[in-house]
Amino acid sequence: MDILQYTDKHHAFRQRLRTFLAKEVTPNVDQWEKDHIVPKEAWQKMGREGFLCTWASEEYGGMGGDFLYSVIATEEMAKTNHTGLAAMLHSDIIVPYINSFGSDAQKKKFLPGCISGDIITAVAMTEPDAGSDLAGMQATAETDEDKIVINGSKTFISNGINADLVIVAAKNPAEENPYQSMSLYLVEDGTPGFKRGRQLDKMGFHSQDTAELFFSNCRIPKENILGQQGMGFMMLMEKLQQERLMCAIGGQAAAELMLEWTIDYCKTHTDAAGKPISKSQAVQFAIVEMMTEIKVSRAFLDKLIAEHAAGENVVVETSMAKYWITDLDNKIASRCLDLFGDFGLTEDCPIARGLRDVRVMSIFAGTNEIMKGIAAKFMGL
């Protein structure tokens, strides 16, 4: 019995998305990897077809779909074996901040463009010297009459080059409590004092335009404060359950895809004796062990998806899932690469890119050590 109950509409959406990705995304992935960026036109095509922010209200141009549409979009995007077109980050991690905490004016101004793909978003939290420690944030935001003046730098910002709108976390230097000093601000492309630094050259995520961002006396209107001033930390904490769950969903799809490639390769290629690689007992055992772990994590993940969709608090469990599944990704990628033999060392082997891309998943959205620390705290350890 399936834990998640997909309707005919869900299945039709998945098939429509698969058809779109096969035509508009997959054929272009290798070029995007070489270019180290995805053209904005690709985002706009996704938006026009209704594949961005599927949960958004029809009032703003969305389809008003349930959470399973987000799950489908994330899973199918993972199967394209690239990370540049970071629809999950945009649709299910960043834009929900605007939907949940934005004023009516902010929603009317930004949500339609986020849905259509005309506005690409980024969230700027990480700093060069703070890492995952939000309390150590140094970027400041001070009030000057009817403006907010932001100063500081951010790094490892996904969509940093393409972003038309950045949600920036910064603190009020007059407030000593680091958790009460933080607020979130909407900074639009072209705002004086907002500059992009270098696009980071990374081990993986080659098509993802990850960049440094700099704010030097960047003046934004007070109307661009997102939510209540001083509530930034609480707003970030409120959204972490979905962020970590989305990471786990993408990671699960990646693990399933890598094993699928490996099984197909082992069935269709022969060893030195002329027999299919899959007939080797050692290979069979390796594949069965990986499949077992993947099925176990799928059952756990689907349960969390159902609970999250029902509005339940599963912060601890999603932290566990994020660490478990992204660790599993690295394990699966490495073991699958072994089964490909010499071919696994070539760029023609999809596992080569997959291994590079999944490596960072245990680091971003909070390192897996932080995930374990959260679980330990709630367990009273």
User: Hey, is 210 helix, strand or coil?
Assistant: coil
- Parallel, antiparallel or unpaired: strands 165-171 and 121-124: parallel
Task: Tell me the domain boundaries of the chain.
Answer: 8-118, 123-228, 234-378
Q: Which helix (H) or strand (E) holds 325?
A: helix 315-340
Confidence category of residue 15, pLDDT binned at 50, 70, 90: very high
Lowest mean pLDDT among 32-46, 159-173, 344-358: 344-358
Query: Half-sphere exposure of residue 52, counting CA atoms within 13 Å on the CB side?
Result: 28
Give φ, ψ of 66 to 5 degrees: -80, 180
pLDDT at 132: 63
CATH number of 234-378: 1.20.140.10
- For the ranges 79-83, 112-116, 124-128, the maximum mean pLDDT occurs at 112-116
The top-level CATH class assigned to 8-118 is mainly alpha
Q: What is the pLDDT at residue 273?
A: 87
Query: pLDDT-based confidence at 129, cuts 50/70/90?
Result: confident
260 is known as an active-site residue: no
Taking a C-beta distance cutoff of 8 angstroms, is the pair 118, 47 a contact?
Answer: yes
pLDDT digits (tens, 9 = 90+) for 176-197: 888 889 999 999 999 999 999 9
What pLDDT is stored for residue 283 in this prediction? 96
pLDDT of residue 26: 96
Instruction: State the catalytic residue, choosing from 75, 76, 212, 243.
Output: 243
Would you say the pTM of this structure is higher than 0.95? Answer: no
Can you state the percent helix, strand and coil of the chain, rounding each to 5?
55, 15, 30
333-340: average pLDDT: 96
Percent over 70 (pLDDT), the chain: 99
Report the amino acid identity of residue 146: D
The pLDDT of residue 1 is above 80? no
pLDDT value of position 365:
85
Is pLDDT of 343 > 80?
A: yes
Angle between helices 232-268 and 350-358 (to 10 degrees): 160
Cβ pair 238, 249 in contact under 8 A: no
Q: What is the mean pLDDT of residues 65-76?
A: 97
pLDDT above 90: percentage of residues in the chain: 86
Q: For 361, which DSSP code?
A: G
**Rounded Cα–Cα distance for residues 169 and 154 (Å):** 9
Mean pLDDT (whole number) for 148-175: 95
Which residues make beta-bridge pairs with 194? 215
Residue 106 CB contacts under 8 Å (≥ 6 apart), including other chains: 98, 186, 223, 224, 226
For residues 137-152, average pLDDT: 93
Q: What is the mean pLDDT of the chain?
A: 94
Q: What pLDDT, in 10s, does the model give residues 232-290?
A: 999 988 998 999 999 999 999 999 999 999 999 999 999 888 999 999 999 999 999 99
* Residue 40: pLDDT over 80: yes
Q: What would be the CATH architecture of the domain defined by 123-228?
A: Beta Barrel (2.40)
